[in-house]
């Protein structure tokens, strides 16, 4: 088992545009020392210049899927030159409040070398990545790869 840590720091201050509420801005420091400026989504009185939890969840799913995809592709002998994803998460109302109900991954992948995957092989690579992605396996939201 491995541990993954994030340190969150928040201190009360009035947001510049509305002193009747609290500022949602905070920082997240990851174990590698990277600091992320975070807030709630702008639609929830957050700062749109900061990452919000919903964006970070979508980014985590996208990153995990890509890393798993690259590992499987490498094992299968496919050489990936580049991988770009334009992932989108959908926040919807549910019985227990609002939830990220669906995350769509929209990867564009460039392979190099003589061995190029067929459409069926590409589908199997994505299926394997989805099945083995730690983050996708940890959430209830539907995760779909859109071509």
For residue 16, what pLDDT is reported?
A: 63
pLDDT, tens digit, for every residue of 20-73?
778 899 999 998 899 999 999 988 888 999 999 999 999 999 999 999 999 999
For residue 110, what pLDDT is reported?
A: 98
Burial (CB count <10 Å: 0-12, 13-18, 19+), residue 98: exposed
Name the fold adopted by 53-145.
Answer: GMP Synthetase; Chain A, domain 3 (3.30.300)
**Closest to 62 (Cα-Cα) out of 142, 136, 128, 146:** 136
Longest Cα–Cα distance of the chain, Å, equals 63
Contact call for residues 6 and 30 (beta carbons, < 8 A): yes
- Nearest 5°: the CA angle 125, 129, 132 is 135
Q: Is the pTM of this model over 0.85?
A: yes
Residues of the chain with CATH 3.30.300.20: 53-145
Contact call for residues 80 and 111 (beta carbons, < 8 A): yes
For residue 95, what pLDDT is reported?
A: 87
Residue ranges of E strands in 1-96: 6-9, 26-30, 35-38, 79-85, 88-94
């Amino acid at each position: 088992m491995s541990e993954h840590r994030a340190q969150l720091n928040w201190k009360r201050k009035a947001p510049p545009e509305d002193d009747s509420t609290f500022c949602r801005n905070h920082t997240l420091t990851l174990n590698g020392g990277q600091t992320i400026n975070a807030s709630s989504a702008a639609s929830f009185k957050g700062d749109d210049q900061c990452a919000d939890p919903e964006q970070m969840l979508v980014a985590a799913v996208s990153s995990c899927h890509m890393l798993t995809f690259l590992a499987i592709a490498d094992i299968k002998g496919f050489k990936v030159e580049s991988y770009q994803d334009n992932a989108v998460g959908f926040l919807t109302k549910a019985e227990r409040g609002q939830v990220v109900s669906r995350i769509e991954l929209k990867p564009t992948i460039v392979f190099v070398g003589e061995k190029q995957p067929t459409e069926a092989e590409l589908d199997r690579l994505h299926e394997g990545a989805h099945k083995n992605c730690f983050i996708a396996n940890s959430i209830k939201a539907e995760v779909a790869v859109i071509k």
